[in-house]
Every structure is written in C-alpha cells, then in structure tokens.
C-alpha cells in the first residue's frame, strides 16, 4: 500500500541540491489501471498502481535494462524525466522533491510517504511546501504524461 501526500512547490529550500539525488525517467503503458516503467538511476522496474489519491495499492517488479528499453517503445504519452532529491524530516519521514525536466519544467512537486493514513492526515508540511494537491489527480505522474 502506498500512502502519500503531494504538494506543489514554488520555492524549494536553497540547500536542496546538497541532498542525495536520483535521476528518474518513467513512462506509462496504461493509465487505468496505472502500469508504469521506470529507470531510477541504474535500477529498472515495472509498477502497477490501483485507483486512488492518497492511498492506493502499488506493486513493483524488477526489470532488466533490455526489458525496460523494449517496453519504452510502447509507452503512451511522454516520457517523464525528473531529478528526485531526498530530504529527511525530523520524524523519520523523507521528502521526495521532484524537479521535472524538459516539457514539464519548471514543475516542482514534493511527496511524503507515510506508514498509515493517520500519520498522513495529521502531517503538518514545512512552510516552503505550497498547495496540497494530494486529492487532485491532476498532478499524478500518469496524468502529467498525457499533457
């Protein structure tokens, strides 16, 4: 189960580039249900996600680079490219700060994953987080792949 909240960010903290960064590209083979392929640095995976906004089922399966490259020719919509910075929070949680590249620039989103819905609902975001878009499907990456 994936439980996450998502926020628009206009002004990330000045030091965000000092945190670990992963380079991600992902494409969608299907958006209902969501079937995604992803390259995360040198790791490849196929992901299924059920319907939902804050909480939804997620299953990740490893792919080889060859399988990823083969499936890449079959994506529907744009290939999303982003840099993901991992910023720690005091409570053991992590902010995933996504800086989108190419056609989706200058979009910046912050996501935080939670162990349960109670923690997600009681989360107080840092001041630099912008609008909470958790319950707007407009900012799901599967939707962004279609714009």
Q: Provide the annotated active-site residues.
A: 28
| Spatial contact of 37 and 22, defined as CB atoms under 8 Å apart | no
Q: Are the C-beta atoms of residues 142 and 42 closer than 8 Å to each other?
A: no
List of residues 6+ apart from 108 with CB closer than 8 A: 8, 9, 10, 12, 97, 98, 99, 100
Starting at the edge strand found earlier in the chain, the sheet holding 108-113 runs 55-56, 2-8, 108-113, 94-100, 80-88, 21-31, 34-40, 43-49, 58-62
C-alpha to C-alpha distances, 131 to 7, 72, 88, 111, nearest whole angstrom: 5, 32, 20, 12
List the structure tokens of 118: 């109670």
């Amino acid at each position: 189960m994936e439980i996450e909240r998502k926020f628009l960010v206009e002004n990330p903290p000045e030091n965000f580039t000092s945190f670990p960064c992963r380079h991600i590209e992902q494409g969608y083979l299907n958006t209902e249900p969501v079937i995604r392929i992803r390259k995360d640095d040198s790791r490849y995976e196929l992901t299924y996600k059920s319907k939902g906004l804050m909480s939804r089922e997620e299953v990740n399966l490893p792919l080889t680079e060859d399988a990823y490259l083969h499936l890449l020719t079959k994506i529907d919509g744009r290939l999303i490219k982003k840099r993901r910075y991992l910023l720690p929070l005091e409570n053991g949680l992590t902010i995933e700060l996504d800086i989108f590249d190419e056609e989706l620039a200058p979009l910046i989103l912050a996501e935080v994953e939670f162990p349960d819905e109670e923690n997600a609902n009681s989360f107080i975001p840092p001041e630099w987080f912008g609008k909470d878009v958790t319950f707007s499907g407009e900012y799901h990456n599967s939707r962004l792949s279609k714009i």
